[in-house]
Amino acid sequence: MTEARRALLELASRDVLVVGIGNPQRGDDAAGLILGRAVAERLGKPYLECEEVPENYLADMHQSPAGTVLFVDAVHMSAEAGEIRVLDLDELADPGVSTHKSSLRLLAGLLTEHYGKRVALLGIQPVCLDWGKPLTEPVARAIDRFVASLCGGSSE
């Protein structure tokens, strides 16, 4: 079992709201939306699709009965294309993490400090974030493998 899968399954044992983040028109930036939706469906968790403006959904996150908010986003983490990791709130402070780093750090801080939510990030390493490009093959394959592994299928 991979570390990301193990960490996600541990998170999923709680009440979790899965929040998909990304732009469906910018190549691998769509990975946060695709992976988030698939993970929520596979684990039977509620899903909130925020595209590029998760801060506009703060009230929905706050009002959710879930004690944990799991952001899912394309993340620059100097990893192999398509690598998936679960990152803690502290890791969002790294200036190299996330394509939406400033808004996610602020949003995570609000959710944690003011609303008592636990916040984590399921990140996937993008290859291409160019406008009008499709999801790249390495990222699409990584999503498929990871989601399949959540139901006892092949490990990532």
What percent of the chain is modeled with pLDDT above 70?
87
pLDDT at site 74: 93
pLDDT at site 4: 82
Kindly state the helix (H) or strand (E) to which residue 140 belongs, with its residue range.
helix 137-149
Paired strand residues for 110: none
CA-CA distances (angstroms) from residue 56 to 49, 51, 105, 131, 136?
A: 11, 10, 14, 23, 28
- Give the residue-averaged pLDDT of 23-33: 96
Show the tokens assigned to 90: 């502290």
Question: Do residues 75 and 98 make contact, with C-beta atoms less than 8 angstroms apart?
Answer: yes
pLDDT tens, residue by residue, 52-78: 999 999 999 999 999 999 999 998 888
Show the tokens assigned to 147: 């989601």
User: pLDDT at residue 101 above 70?
Assistant: no
pTM: 0.88
Domain 3-149 class in CATH: alpha beta
